[in-house]
Amino acid sequence: MTLLSRLSSGWTAWLLLALITFTAAAPGVFLVPALDRDESRFAQASKQMLETGNYIEIRYQGEGRNKKPAGIHWLQALSTKAFAGKQQDQIWSYRLPSLLGAVLATLAVFWCGIVLIGRRGAFLGAAMFGAGLLLTSEAHIAKTDAVLVFLTALTMGALARLYMRSEGRDAAPRPLALLFWGAMGLAFLIKGPVTMLVAALTVAGIWLVRRQTDWMTPLADWRGLALFVVLVLPWFVWVQFATSGEFLEGAVGKDLKDKLVGASEGHGGWPGYHLLFLASHFFPATLLLVPSLVLLAKTLRGRALDVLASERSGLIFLAAWLIPTWVFFELLPTKLSHYILPAYPALALICGWGIVQLMGQLKSGSPMYVSRFASLGLFGFGGLALCLATSPLGVDLLQLEAAGDFRHAASDSDVLAAWSQYPAMKLYWLALGLFAVLGALGFGAIRKYGASLCLAMLASVALGWHIRTVFLPSAVWMQPTTTARLALAETCSLKTHGPLYLKSCHAPFPARVQAIGYAEPSLVFTTGTNTLIPPQTLVNLPDQPSAYPIVYLLNLEDEAGWKADATLSKFATEAGRNINRSEPYYALNYSNGDPVAFISVRID
């Protein structure tokens, strides 16, 4: 406890927490290829802002992307302009705001927790949150959620400090109210009303328990409301004029409405959906989850006599943050596993408080055998599932299953032979397994809670590094756009080159690539904004020699792709044109689970 007090005090705590999140998340930012579909759509829209100089309208190729506000696109465009310069097709520069958002989110959770549960519990809770797999996964994806959870935690930290003033905690209400409204305004520019919803649900939960609203009086200050309006209104009015009113219709009348009334874009699920992902997404804090929730329930029911009144008030705030938010997202018809991220800071702080309670009751308190071993089982299940899914055994089984789905490959063995050229992953598991087993033994058998938590976080970092530095970068067979670019490189049809596309080409490059049977956004982002994808692509050969070379990327596993292959061959022969076809390249499109077999057809 003395060591924990030193670690959680002064600048040391802030530096350690920032390092934990940065170390866990940073490798994936630079090594994982552009992901489909949301990340590449966000990055492509930001790239088009840089290309056109239009920072008001959000566009994906020729279409308006009227779904989310422009805040994240501004951050991505600024990051790319500052760090990547003219290399605007490199995904890492668009991910830097997410990485920074995740680091700041961990610090904001610590700041929020200090006033609610004390520095020691806040430090441990923030550390577990910063090493968690869901946050560190969002940290290397160029979209809204990592920045959103930072601004949400900052908003909730200001709200928590206003709330705890009733417990005698010193706080300046006006700056906190300005911070609350300012952070909420910025969050609105990132992802609309999500942070506002979380704050409103928390306030409603506190009112149901305590029937008090006087602590909210500073929030009625006109200065805070004016700050929110100044942050949000100018861009909103501008984009409404620029899009002739289409933005509001698309963002509210279409996107938000679809999520509230049904399973938008097929992303549905029954209540309990987010609980199913808890074992993997909340790892490694699952090691503390069950006993912490048991202790929380006892405290809120008044059965824990050694908890201070102010500490109980802080726990009421965390419960009011966690429970209504969780219930809302479980009942929301549209479900994606990262939607629940704004509730994870509250859950992590509860776990941080719980482990401090376990440390303090080590000699005199109940050993809590049932809840500790239940939590240990949850921790083991999540870790084992993640390890097996990214193991050589898991990869082999998935490849065998996927190879059998190809219809136009000569045989399954041809597909498996093509995939065998990619390097086998190294085993980070020895370190991962050692950390996890020692952590489990320390928690379950000898009750060394601090050491077991450190080992569990090391296991999480090792697992994340294994996935993001070895498994995903080496799994080219599961990267359809990377595989498609290999086919394009074979026919000298790829302007940009990387480690996978080394080829000496002296022929002229095509003005654009036209894809048939494949329309993933990552192809547009990495190959060029003017890349034609279905349904814009047309199979025709112009008469003007200046229009050549013409390059088509065909997915032979799609009916339109193999029909186009025959049609192009016929047209080229009749017109006396030279046609060059690449070898087939096979992949599994993880976005929809379909096999893809690419060839590049170049006509000169």
The Cα 598–Cα 556 span in angstroms is 6
Provide the pLDDT for residue 170: 57
Provide the pLDDT for residue 444: 54
Provide the pLDDT for residue 539: 86
Which residues of the chain have a pLDDT value below 70?
1, 166-171, 266, 304-306, 362-367, 422-447, 496-504
Query: How many beta carbons lie within 10 A of that of residue 253, not counting itself?
Result: 12
3-class DSSP assignment, residue 539: coil
3-class DSSP assignment, residue 554: strand
- Write the secondary structure of 249-305 as one string of H (helix), E (strand) and C (coil): HHHHHHHHHHHHHCCHHHCECCCCHHHHCHHHHCCCCHHHHHHHHHHHHHHHCCCCC
Provide the pLDDT for residue 540: 84
Provide the pLDDT for residue 137: 95
Q: How far is CA 268 from CA 36, 161, 197, 337, in A?
A: 19, 36, 20, 10
Provide the CA 23 distance to its chain's centre, in angstroms.
16
Provide the pLDDT for residue 107: 98
The Cα 256–Cα 196 span in angstroms is 15
Provide the pLDDT for residue 333: 92
Buried (b) or exposed (e) across 395-413, using 16+ Cβ within 10 A? beeebeebbeebeebeeee
Provide the CA 485 distance to its chain's centre, in angstroms.
25
Q: Domain residues of the chain, as ranges?
A: 2-360+369-381, 382-476, 480-603
Provide the pLDDT for residue 509: 85
Query: How big is the chain, counted in residues?
Result: 604
Buried (b) or exposed (e) across 308-344, using 16+ Cβ within 10 A? eebbebbbbbbbbbbebbbeebbebebbbbbbbbbbb
Structure tokens at 384: 């084992």
Provide the pLDDT for residue 45: 96
- Specify the DSSP class assigned to residue 262: S
Query: pTM of the predicted model, to two decimals?
Result: 0.93
Among 534, 63, 568, 114, CA closest to 318: 114
Provide the pLDDT for residue 442: 57
516 sits in which H/E element: strand 513-516
Query: Using an 8 Å Cβ cutoff, are 556 and 597 in contact?
Result: yes
Q: What is the pLDDT of residues 574-595, one digit of tens each?
A: 888 999 999 999 999 999 889 9
Provide the pLDDT for residue 213: 83
